[in-house]
Amino acid sequence: MARILVVDDDIAGLELRKMILQRAGHVVTAAADVDMARSLFHETHPETVLLDLRLPEAADGLALIREFREAVPSVRIVVLSGFTPDLDGHPERAMTDQILNKPLRTEI
């Protein structure tokens, strides 16, 4: 069981991922915007962050990657994005533990 923060501005996708991870036994918090993500990150101390990159702009996701990595170097950061080239040429790419392309096949 892990503490996971899911961040996505697509509410339907956010709720679905939260439900799937909870069913798998994880403690999950969900944030639909950058400010909520920052707040919940510091309140809940997640071990893993599942992060959409465009929130709604790629710069928002890149900023969160930097902030989360600086605050807790051991946090696992998984980027989930339909626009993974947004990471190309950015140092934040090396700060992520895994990059997953949307659409992501989700099995319940």
Mean of pLDDT values over 103-107: 63
Q: What is the reported pLDDT for 106?
A: 57
User: Among 13, 87, 83, which residue's Cα sits nearest to residue 50?
Assistant: 13
* Token digits of residue 97: 């533990």
Instruction: Quickly state the pLDDT bin for 63 (edges 50, 70, 90).
Output: very high
Confidence of residue 32 (pLDDT cuts 50, 70, 90): very high
CB neighbour list of residue 14: distance below 8 Å, 6 or more residues apart: 6, 7, 8, 30, 31, 32
Residue type, 90: H
Q: Which pLDDT score is estimated for 105?
A: 63
Alpha helix (H) residue ranges in the chain: 11-23, 34-44, 58-71, 92-95
- What does pTM read for this prediction? 0.91
Position with higher pLDDT, 82 vs 71: 71
pLDDT of residue 80: 87
